[in-house]
Amino acid sequence: MLKPIYITAYNLTNAWFETLYKCVELGKNFKIDRGSNAGQDRREFDFITVQITNPDEGDLIPQLSEASPIPNPVEDGYLDSYMPYLMTGEEKEGEAYTYGQRICKVAVGEIHNRIDPILVIEEERMDSLPENVLWLEKANLLLNQMELMIWTYKNKGYRNNQMVLQVGQPSDMLLKDPPCLRHIDTRIQDDKLHFFPYFRSWDLYGGFPANLAAIELMKQYCAEQIGVENGEIIASSKGLHLYDYVWEIAESIRGKTMNEFRLEQNISYENHISRE
């Protein structure tokens, strides 16, 4: 039987440490059959949801003690170079896609000879939308989902369930390495913008903190543009994992080995049975 896990954390640093601890304690080990790391062992949750109530407070990236011989999970300066990957259509040589291309520069159609009026969002016409939402580039009609989400909330009201920033697409099944981030759902509630990202597969040690920090900065930008407060992140994944090459590091951070956890769980279970 699958065992979904739910973690509530105060900020991003708190979320990383608590999730790391839980993966050491409750994750399941298995060997990867197919994918970019085929043949390696992973320790993975069946399914996890992590609610971060104050993601804009404290460090966006977890910082380990200066006295620790273990380096921080994300290199200094990495976030600055990562943001264009998420929030712009910047192309990277040799890559099949970037998250920014999928979110901020989506080809939605081709125009021949002339620009026909196109209905967009109820009765809105293409030429009524800002140029940073929908624009022509050569013969291609391009869409920025992030800017359309901002425009829609500002002009059509807050309460709808349609504003999903979509990354995944059916043809990704043909890619050797399809996107891990599949979508970022959004909601405005109590005058706060909340994000709900879903990852099909997710590296807990380095990817989790880098991705969430970037998503948080994106959310802050969107909230400011809409004119609402910054809200929570509730992230979920059926593939959040630790690769075998960081197991010892994770154990060291946690302070106990996986075998010690197993022993404690067995003793706790036996004590529970004896009391029944």
| Domain ranges, ordered by start, for the chain | 4-79+178-275
Would the CA dihedral through 109, 99, 101, 126 be positive or negative? positive
- Residue 27 pLDDT > 60: yes
Question: 4-79+178-275: CATH homologous superfamily?
Answer: Thymidylate synthase/dCMP hydroxymethylase domain (3.30.572.10)
How far apart CA 153 and CA 204 sit, in angstroms, is 32
| DSSP β-bridge partners for residue 235 | 50
Average pLDDT of 194-217? 97
pTM (2 d.p.): 0.87
Residue 266 confidence class, pLDDT cut points 50, 70, 90:
low
pLDDT in tens, 11-26: 999 999 999 999 998 9
- Residue 111 pLDDT > 60: no
Contacts of 196 (CB under 8 A, 6+ apart): 184, 185, 186, 187, 233, 234, 235, 236
pLDDT for 67 equals: 72
| DSSP β-bridge partners for residue 196 | 185
- Residue 9 pLDDT > 50: yes
Q: Do the strands 229-237 and 47-52 form a parallel or antiparallel pair, or are they unpaired? A: antiparallel
pLDDT for 46 equals: 96
Contact 141, 106 (CB under 8 A): no
pLDDT in tens, 142-180: 899 999 999 999 999 999 999 999 999 999 999 888 999
- Residue 125 pLDDT > 60: no
- Residue 251 pLDDT > 50: yes
